[in-house]
Structure 1
Amino acid sequence: MNTSIINRSEINYEWSQTLTKRSGQETKVRTAPLISNCGLTADWVTDMTDDLFPSLSNRASKPTRQAMQAALLNIANGVSERAVHGQPSGFLCELSNTSKKVPKRYRDHDYSSNTMGAVLSALEAEGFLECHKGYRTKGYSSGLSTLWLPTHSAKQFLSALNEMLVIEFFRQDTETLWLKSRNGGLLDYKDDMLTNDMRLLLRNTNDLRACVNWYYRPQGAASDVPGLHIGEALIPIGKRDLTFKRQFNETFNKGGRFYGNVQQLSKQERATITMNGEPTTELDIKSLHPRMLYNMKGIAAPFDCYDIDGYDRETMKTVGLIALNAKSELSAVRALANSLSTTHEYARRAIEAFRLKHQPIAEFLFSSSWSMLQYQDSELAKDILSEAADEGIPVIPVHDSFISSTSHAQKLSGIIHKQYEKRFGFLPVVEPTLRPVCQSSAA
């Protein structure tokens, strides 16, 4: 059992726009990923379940209690995120009369979507939640999922508790190798040597990471809810937050990135991470995706692919991310304008500046290159994590950067240089600059 979990919120622009239109007032609302694999555990949780569902059969008792535990944890997380950011924060969950069938390997709880819907509706009736029903625009296959926001009554109730909030995970063993369909659904698959090898590496690196003590200092205001945010104190990073999975798309040669809750920490928070009491260093491969594209074509990349006259680096980084992910230039312009809160004309000029700067790789723009690029960077991460594990170095991967103790940083930098050059034929630019322990693998 843990007393904390990392589950951060982001501004939900679609719901913010919808609520602004409905209320006539500028509204910013945040949502965090729905927590479904764990929940709050305490006698009062059991009592609340019994009070709201007094006629449960023995068969329905366990899944309903789990759904209540998970719902209350999502409420507590929303209360905490609002305290940190000063904006309404909740979660998305459909009210559905049909349960989606999830392949057995992925199941991390015992309740159905119907049961969760019943629990959320009961908590809404009790004044703990405010429900904004989702909708689907005519002519579109997808729309907005139902938004649930914790109320002031929920905050008061949780703040009045004289005990720390304790979290219980519903399953001890969880699948770490995920395969998703084009529409985001979970796909089953037959295990073979490839999947077994990938899962073994995940287990080994997850176990190595769990063998040491990781702490970080959270940003933002302290929460009134016991056990969620503790001001300036360093708080432990739990084992589940350090457990990574690999997520592929449709086949095992698309996507494949490593995902873990600890990646939700901000860059400033990651800088406070300690490992067994020692400061850590985050080694970042500079402008990874454009660099990979240059190198895959046998061309040396610029030192910083996002250094473009007339624009700041963060803007160009966003331009590159969107232009490489988009299916068309028009969709890229729209996405960039929305991301930067700017005009379509400015977005168009910024994209053109990026294209002119990077003509050797311009063919990859507006071609949905993300799946190929993510697979390549995930395979690079796999090789780095594998060699680091062989050296006994615990590492937190953050896609294009790698975190470990400062005492391991020089050796880890050498591993990153070696594995990048082995895969792409060129040395990467890694920051902060350290003299690698490992020598170049190329002649």
Structure 2
Amino acid sequence: MSKHFITRQHIFRLDSDVIILKNSEKYLKDYPDDDFTSKIRDECLTYNSYLYSKKIGLLRNKQVKNYLNEKNIDFKSKSYQRIFNGDFKHGGRFYGPWWLNVPSELRQFITINNNKTVEYDYSSLIIHQIYSEVGLNYFEENTYSDDPYLLRGVPDTERKINKAIIQIALNCSDLESLNAALLRQYKKGKLIGNKPRKKEIEKRLNIFKEMNPKIADYVYKQIALRFQFQDSEIARKIINRCYSYLIPVLSVHDSFIVEETNSNFIIDTMNNAIKDTGLTSIPLIK
């Protein structure tokens, strides 16, 4: 481009569609619009315009500054897209804004209009979704812990890796693909420490199945995208209700960030969204 004297002033950026459909190879897939896609596009565009008018940033403490010294954040990137996979009943989560790419431990420093924020999420949502699909309640079936990612005989400090193993196993077909996906998580820095060997991965997965025998068949069934559609629709309900009250909310899949003064409102909204979905196993909000 520089060879031909092309500069930024020669480039016009056309915003891409906010409703994205991908095929099984993750390439973009054309689709005809219908009432559903038109409705969710209008909602997404309206909410993006609303967020654009808000100042969303990070407190400049030592932890944040160290991160910004290594990573660039485009704080102007505040637009959501919904990305579906294969059809409009799989995937559909909200992606795009800069806060989705910030490490979870830094999200506590996000500010909205220079105000401190709080973040609440549905604890272990996909596990409760699966239990609900078979008409059961996790808390009645598994009395070991409120947290499905705490495994009997495994130190609680290993929760994060347990969670990764279980969630990936629900969206892959066998141990080999699970191990490969886990390795990618370590290479990207999303998991730290030493990656467990295959035997240890298999052992922990077997403990999970023994502790949750009535949903053990869901492992290696590649069902995560189907449940992602349900949680994306829960997020949509929450975003729409917050917008109707002109309360800015930042969705990070199944967690939601609002100004501190709106803590009670977001908890109430999240509870109502779950009730409307009709789950028989209700996740805790933390």
On whether the aligned pair clears a TM of 0.5, the verdict is yes
- Displacement, 1:297? 1.9
Residue in 1 that maps onto 2:167: 321
> What TM-score does the superposition give when structure 2 sets the normalisation length?
0.83
Residue in 2 that maps onto 1:306: 149
The letter of the residue matching 2:32 is K
Distance 1:404 1:419 in 2: 16
Asked if 1:428 is matched to 2:283, the reply is yes
Normalized per residue, the structure richer in helix is 2
Count residues in correspondence: 263
| Selected match of 2:4 from 43, 46, 53 | 53
Consecutive unaligned residues of structure 2, counting only runs of 5 or more, are: 140-145, 187-193
Residue in 2 that maps onto 1:151: none
- Displacement, 1:357? 1.5
Deviations 1:59-108 (A, max 9, x none): xx5xxx46xx9xxxxxxxxxxxxxxxxxxxxxxxxxxxxxxxxxxxxxxx
Residue in 2 that maps onto 1:331: 177
Residue in 2 that maps onto 1:357: 211
Deviations 1:308-334 (A, max 9, x none): 223221121111111101112443255
Q: Which has the higher contact order (CA 8 A, sep 6+)?
A: 2
In the superposition, relative to structure 1, how do residues 390 and 310 fare at CA in structure 2: closer, same or farther (>3 Å)?
Answer: same
Distance 1:223 1:332 in 2: 33
Residue in 2 that maps onto 1:209: 51
Kept after mapping to 2: 8 A contact 1:319/1:336:
yes
Distance 1:332 1:174 in 2: 33
Q: Which has the larger radius of gyration?
A: 1
Kept after mapping to 2: 8 A contact 1:384/1:419:
yes
Distance 1:251 1:236 in 2: 31
Kept after mapping to 1: 8 A contact 2:54/2:112:
yes
The letter of the residue matching 2:234 is L
| Selected match of 1:413 from 247, 267, 284 | 267
- Structure 2 residue matching 1:430: 3-state secondary structure: coil
Distance 2:176 2:248 in 1: 43
- Displacement, 1:414? 0.6
Asked if 1:251 is matched to 2:87, the reply is yes
The letter of the residue matching 1:310 is G
- Aligned pairs for 1:23-422 within 5 A: 49=2, 52-53=3-4, 65=7, 170-171=12-13, 173-216=15-58, 217=60, 218-220=64-66, 223=69, 237-238=75-76, 241-262=77-98, 263-302=100-139, 303-311=146-154, 312-333=158-179, 335-336=181-182, 339=186, 341-422=195-276
- Structure 2 residue matching 1:379: 3-state secondary structure: helix
Consecutive unaligned residues of structure 1, counting only runs of 5 or more, are: 1-47, 55-60, 70-108, 111-169, 230-234, 432-443
Deviations 1:217-249 (A, max 9, x none): 43526649xxx86xxxxx9832xx210000011
- Displacement, 1:264? 0.1
The letter of the residue matching 1:428 is P
> What TM-score does the superposition give when structure 1 sets the normalisation length?
0.55
Kept after mapping to 2: 8 A contact 1:337/1:347:
no
Kept after mapping to 2: 8 A contact 1:214/1:275:
yes
In the superposition, relative to structure 1, how do residues 182 and 219 fare at CA in structure 2: closer, same or farther (>3 Å)?
Answer: farther
- Structure 1 residue matching 2:120: 3-state secondary structure: strand
Kept after mapping to 1: 8 A contact 2:235/2:251:
yes
The letter of the residue matching 2:122 is I
Kept after mapping to 2: 8 A contact 1:257/1:375:
yes
Distance 1:382 1:53 in 2: 45
Kept after mapping to 2: 8 A contact 1:249/1:255:
yes
Kept after mapping to 2: 8 A contact 1:205/1:394:
no
The letter of the residue matching 1:322 is I
The letter of the residue matching 1:267 is S
- Displacement, 1:392? 1.5
- Displacement, 1:210? 2.0
The letter of the residue matching 2:78 is L
Kept after mapping to 1: 8 A contact 2:91/2:228:
yes
Distance 1:425 1:371 in 2: 17
The letter of the residue matching 2:125 is L
- Structure 2 residue matching 1:342: 3-state secondary structure: coil
Deviations 1:323-353 (A, max 9, x none): 1011124432554467552211111111111
Deviations 1:226-281 (A, max 9, x none): xx86xxxxx9832xx21000001121111111102320011122110111121001
Kept after mapping to 1: 8 A contact 2:250/2:258:
yes
Kept after mapping to 2: 8 A contact 1:204/1:389:
no
Distance 1:417 1:379 in 2: 14
- Displacement, 1:181? 1.2
